[in-house]
Amino acid sequence: MQAYYLKKIIFFFIFTFVSLQLAKSQSDARTLQKADSLYKTANFTEAEAIFEQNSSKLKNPSSNFFLKLASIKEKKGDFLNTLYYLNKAYEQEPSQKVLMKLNEIGSLHELKGYELNDFNFLILFYKQYSGFLIALLMILGIYIFIILFIKKYKSEYIPINQKIFLLIYLLGVGLLLNLPDKYHQGIINHDEVFLRTEPSAGAEIAGNINKGNRLNVIGGNDIWKRVIWKDKFLYLKESDIWLVE
């Protein structure tokens, strides 16, 4: 009897949770439909307010969601937030069109970090095909491992260079898998931001940078972020940069 009532209670909680999630999803959809309608009729101020209220609430906003916000900010002359939301759109769905728009705005305001260079195209390629590349490398790794295992099982000689290759290969796959967690792009959010040689307020100041410039962020902690600027690893406060995640 107790087991019967326990099943009823579990079913009730699961049913309630699923119902609440569905209701929230439908509510979000109606809210975004309203914002889209306002956007289409050029009621940009009202649409902007709804989009921004929901930007942090939605689990997986679409690239189009951020592109509309970027368009509104550009119409208002807010180049900083235009760049930020374009970067968010690019993060959701990498495309050369968005990359070109970022370069256009960056060039107009004489900003660094938006150049159409080999590195940025390499990042574009990685973001577009990372899943395929990792799957291909994993299949190749399994194949190599099976060959080496068979050789080991048959007591055949395994050259040292094959072992070294497998080790380097595994390290490379590990780097690819961890890259999204360690690497981000960030936009400086105000002028005269100090770049320091060490993650400390007392460290030597290596230079300063103004708002709008985009940096590559590699690691850091809650207070300091490690960035690449002019081919150097430097540090700045987390509050001075908007991370694009």
Are 222 and 161 spatial neighbours (Cβ–Cβ below 8 Å)? no
Residues 178 and 189 in one domain: no
Residues 217 and 156 in one domain: no
What percent of the chain is modeled with pLDDT above 70? 83
Residues 146 and 198 in one domain: no
Supply the CATH number for residue 53's domain: 1.25.40.10
| Weakest-pLDDT range from 22-31, 87-96, 207-216, 225-234 | 22-31
CB-count burial class (<10 Å; 0-12, 13-18, 19+) for 87: buried
| Weakest-pLDDT range from 33-42, 106-115, 175-184, 232-241 | 175-184
Residues 151 and 197 in one domain: no
CB-count burial class (<10 Å; 0-12, 13-18, 19+) for 212: buried
| Weakest-pLDDT range from 141-145, 204-208, 215-219 | 141-145
d(CA 65, CA 60): 10
- Predicted local confidence at residue 58, as pLDDT: 75
Residues 194 and 176 in one domain: no
Residue at 123 is within a domain: no
Residues 89 and 151 in one domain: no
Residue at 114 is within a domain: no
Residues 150 and 193 in one domain: no
Residue at 32 is within a domain: yes
Are 226 and 210 spatial neighbours (Cβ–Cβ below 8 Å)? no
- Predicted local confidence at residue 53, as pLDDT: 85
- Tally of domains in the chain: 3
pLDDT tens-digit map of 78-117? 999 999 999 999 888 888 899 899 999 999 999 998 887 7
Residue at 122 is within a domain: no
- Predicted local confidence at residue 118, as pLDDT: 72
Residue at 162 is within a domain: yes
Confidence of residue 151 (pLDDT cuts 50, 70, 90): confident
- HSE (side-chain half, CA atoms, 13 Å) at 60: 2
Residues 94 and 163 in one domain: no
More confident residue, 122 or 109: 109
Supply the CATH number for residue 229's domain: 2.30.30.40
Q: What is the mean pLDDT of residues 169-195?
A: 80
Residue at 34 is within a domain: yes
List the domain range (segments joined by +) for residue 79: 2-108
Are 39 and 47 spatial neighbours (Cβ–Cβ below 8 Å)? yes
Residue at 95 is within a domain: yes
Q: What is the mean pLDDT of residues 158-173?
A: 78
- Predicted local confidence at residue 25, as pLDDT: 52
Angle at the Cα of 42 (from 39 to 44), degrees rounded to 5?
A: 65
pLDDT tens-digit map of 8-55? 555 555 545 444 444 455 556 677 788 888 888 888 889 888 888 887
Q: Which residues contact 120 (CB under 8 A, 6 or more apart)?
A: 99, 114
- Predicted local confidence at residue 135, as pLDDT: 80
Query: Is 13 strand, coil or helix?
Result: helix
> At residue 112, what are phi and psi to the nearest 5 degrees?
-100, 155
More confident residue, 119 or 13: 119
- Predicted local confidence at residue 17, as pLDDT: 47
- Predicted local confidence at residue 177, as pLDDT: 67
d(CA 98, CA 103): 9
> At residue 100, what is the residue type?
M
Nearest alpha-carbon partner for 215 in 233, 203, 196: 233
Q: What is the mean pLDDT of residues 52-71?
A: 85
Tokens of 165: 């290759």
Are 186 and 226 spatial neighbours (Cβ–Cβ below 8 Å)? no
Residues 32 and 97 in one domain: yes
pTM of the shown model: 0.71
Residues 104 and 11 in one domain: yes
More confident residue, 119 or 66: 66
Are 235 and 220 spatial neighbours (Cβ–Cβ below 8 Å)? yes
Residues 100 and 15 in one domain: yes
Residues 173 and 195 in one domain: no
For 99, other C-beta atoms within 10 Å of its C-beta total 18
Residue at 125 is within a domain: no
